[in-house]
A = this chain, B = another copy of it.
Amino acid sequence: MPHETPDAIIDALSIDCLIFGFQKNELDILLVQHGEGISKGKWALPGGWIKYNESADAAAARILQDLTGVSKIYLEQLRAFGDVHRYPTKRVITIAYYALVKPEAYTLGAGFTASDVKWFKLGDVPSLPYDHSAILHAGLRHLKHKVRHEPIGFNLLPKKFTLLQLQELYEALLGQKLDKPNFRRKLMKMNLLIPCKEKQTDVSHRAASLYRFDKKTYDKLTEKGFTFEL
Contacts and interface: CB of A to CB of B under 8 A. Distances in A.
Interface in A53-93: 53-57, 59, 77-84, 89-91, 93
A84 B54 contact: yes
Stoichiometry, copies per complex? 2
Interface string A2-23: 1000000010110000000000
Contacts of A90: 1-2
Interface in A188-230: 223, 225, 227
A50 B1 contact: no
A80 B77 contact: yes
Contact of A148 (B174, B223, B227): B227
A149 to B, nearest CB: 7
Interface in A1-50: 1-2, 10, 12-13, 50
Contacts of A95: 80, 82, 93
A52 interface: yes
Nearest to A86: B55
Contacts of A54: 84
A227 B54 CA distance: 37
A186 interface: no
Interface of A: 1-2, 10, 12-13, 50, 52-57, 59, 77-84, 89-91, 93, 95, 141, 144-145, 148-149, 174, 223, 225, 227
